[in-house]
Amino acid sequence: MKLAITGMVLAFFVSGAPYSQAADQPLEFEVASIKQAPPRIVDAPQGMVGCFGGPGSRDPVRYACANASVSLMALFAYGLKAYQIRPPASEDTTRFNVAAKVSPGATAEQVKVMLQNLLADRFKLAFHHEKSEVKGYALVVAKRVLKMKESAPDPPRAPAEVGAPPAAPERVKDKDGFAYFPMRNGFAVSGNSGLTRWVGGNVPTDSEDAPCLTGMLNSLTGQPVVDSTGLKGKYDFTLTFSSGSPDGASGSAAGSSPSDPGGTVPATDVGPSVFGALEDQLGLKLEPKKIMIDAFVIDHAERTPTEN
């Protein structure tokens, strides 16, 4: 089968009371509709890609996947990185739109299991795990000169605000023409004139359960990135680099490998590569490193899901 994924930013959140279901029943969505997505048009606005909603969102009982291949849904369902998927995720061409209803009180972890069961039931997904050593990167402090500053702590909330959801951020346009919604505890991503800008707000260099810099670099390079900075804090920063692929060739999808793992790619006419931008703007560096990963090998998945 063929598998695919493009860049994306993913998140799950934990909700309140646990969802109650008989122990002998598999966790399932109350209702789930799956339709094949229309073909994606090159160089046209593509809309949303990924899985979102459910517990912790504004609509906790609705969960959706948009323009999502089986491999992309597996990333969300099993908490994987793109580089773990075998065959390579860049080979997928068939995408689906999923609309599902979640029982009130279900948690984000339970929703992951529901998505796993949907893949097994409707797509007959079969897979196995195997250890594999691959090329990757270690994120380090370059020349021991860090150019990021730690974030200020969250200000205390007024008693009336405790327990209330945070106010939605307002869209801003900075002096360089980048427009985005600033985030606390996450990333805003914007593009302008061939450049990409990441604006991180109160984010760590690495984390298992929250947006982090190594996670963003994993998605961008398509290769594993491990944190060797020794940094334990959370940081605010802005990183601006060429919107082409990490090796300077435009149009590279996540899953491809930079041709210059040493980070010596020169700046393009538009702007620096992400390798150069990391060192010049944040004081960080990606160094080549062999990394042992747990590969998620898809043995079988139906091209057409069973009926709704």
Q: At what angle do helices 108-122 and 70-78 cross, to 10 degrees?
A: 140
d(CA 77, CA 111): 8
The answer to whether residues 235 and 205 belong to one domain is yes
Residue 26 lies in a domain: no
Residue 128 lies in a domain: no
Q: What are phi and psi of 286, to 5 degrees?
A: -100, 115
Residue 10 lies in a domain: no
Longest dimension (CA), the chain: 61
Which of residues 15 and 143 earns the better pLDDT score?
Answer: 143
- For residue 306, pLDDT over 80 is answered with yes
Residue 217 lies in a domain: yes
Q: Is the pTM of the predicted complex or chain greater than 0.75?
A: no
d(CA 122, CA 124): 6
pLDDT 10s digits, 283-300 = 999 999 999 999 999 999
The answer to whether residues 182 and 267 belong to one domain is yes
pLDDT bucket at 131, cuts 50 / 70 / 90: very high
The answer to whether residues 170 and 287 belong to one domain is yes
Residues facing 99 on adjacent strands: 33, 64
The answer to whether residues 96 and 148 belong to one domain is no
Q: How many domains does the chain have?
A: 2
* pLDDT over 70 percentage in the chain: 77
Which of residues 308 and 100 earns the better pLDDT score?
Answer: 100
Total residues belonging to the chain: 308
pLDDT 10s digits, 165-224 = 556 678 899 999 999 988 888 899 999 999 999 999 999 999 887 889 998 998 888 899
Average pLDDT over residues 83-88: 88
Nearest CA to 262 among 88, 99, 138, 125? 138
Token couple for 143: 């020349």
d(CA 292, CA 289): 10
d(CA 161, CA 141): 38
C-alpha atoms less than 13 angstroms from C-alpha of 61 in its C-beta half-sphere: 5
The answer to whether residues 157 and 65 belong to one domain is no
The answer to whether residues 118 and 137 belong to one domain is no
pLDDT 10s digits, 42-81 = 554 456 778 989 998 888 999 999 989 999 899 999 988 8
CA distances from 219 to 33, 152, 255, 282 (A): 28, 27, 8, 18
d(CA 245, CA 240): 13
The answer to whether residues 146 and 269 belong to one domain is yes
Asked if residues 202 and 184 have their Cβ atoms less than 8 Å apart, the reply is yes
- Look at the block and give the residue holding tokens 């949303």: 48
| pLDDT computed for residue 30 by the predictor | 95
Domain containing 245: what range? 133-292
| pLDDT computed for residue 8 by the predictor | 38
The answer to whether residues 156 and 263 belong to one domain is yes
CA distances from 296 to 84, 87, 129 (A): 6, 9, 5
Residue 14 lies in a domain: no
